[in-house]
Amino acid sequence: MKIAFIGDIVGRPGRQMIGRYLKEIKKIYNIDLVIANYENASHGFGITKKNADELFSYGIDVMTGGNHSWDKKDIIEMFKEYPIIRPINYPDKSAGRGLIELNVLEKRVAIINVMGNYTMPMSDNPFVKVDSVVDDLKNREIKHIIIDFHAEATSEKYVMMHLLKDRVSAILGTHTHVGTDDLMIVDGCCYVTDVGMTGCRDQVIGMDKKIPMQKFLTAIGGHFDIPKRCKKIFQLIVFELDSNGRAIKAKKIKIYDNDKVYKIEARVEQY
């Protein structure tokens, strides 16, 4: 089973890169399932129904969220109609769900979205919550389990990796927008601290650089915006799982808007 995971899609530039390259990537790598993080897809904050329809039309199968999941009012109804999830450790009374199960190549696949604690909105303990959810999935003999861990702190992500590496197929970090160089397969689990965003690469985490620079120089903030024109990047992880849900291969792919492609193979570790 071959799966593609796309990190934070940031605004129109990010959506344009998905539209331009995803279908070809699916053909080249024979992708069976595409997962992407939507939380910055509509002008940097949340996602609208219009933009969700656009992204699904490009070949995305499931979308995960984060702390900006709620920024567009469309999301409440979309939770009922679309394969869209939000962090599972939001309160149980929150709209939506944090886990989705589907059949891929006659295998049951579970996708979990979870959010870290550091600098994030108040939520349940992500480690206790996911530990319990994964145990339930394993008791139901679901072996293909993929986690989008949407978190700021690298330490939180490494703790999650050590906690779950023997029980889940992949833990893929999102949120910081800056891709890390630690892609690895650890004891059969595909892990990366942050996949990295898809969007403007010549600004500040996909946003126009003016307001971030102003804030750091004067301590006075403003409204973050997406540039109408910028240099763009598309970042994703492609990984392969065996019949037992263990990762056997993984690579990071970066595509620039000048069509240059860079690939990095995962290192294999035994901890």
Write down the residue that tokens 């989705």 correspond to: 100
Mean pLDDT of the chain: 96
CB 178 within 8 A of CB 207: no
pLDDT tens-digit series, residues 38-77: 999 999 999 999 999 999 999 999 999 999 999 999 999 9
pLDDT tens-digit series, residues 103-120: 999 999 999 999 999 998
For the chain, the domain total comes to 1
Q: Domain span at residue 216?
A: 2-269
pLDDT tens-digit series, residues 200-235: 999 999 999 998 999 999 999 888 999 989 999 999
Mean pLDDT, range 33-42, rounded to an integer: 97
What tokens does 23 get? Answer: 């279908």
162 is catalytic: no
Q: State pTM to two decimals.
A: 0.96
Strands 247-256, 261-265: pairing is: antiparallel
What tokens does 97 get? Answer: 């769900």
For residue 77, give the amino acid letter: E
Which one of the listed residues 43, 68, 150, 175 is annotated catalytic?
Answer: 68
**57: CATH:** 3.60.21.10
Residues 6+ apart with CB under 8 A from 106: none
pLDDT tens-digit series, residues 176-204: 999 999 999 999 999 999 999 999 999 99
Res. 137: pLDDT tops 90: yes
Mean pLDDT, range 157-170, rounded to an integer: 98
Rounded to the nearest 10 degrees, what angle do helices 49-57 and 11-29 cross at?
A: 20
Distance of CA 22 to the CA centre of its chain: 15
CB 33 within 8 A of CB 5: no
Res. 245: pLDDT tops 90: yes
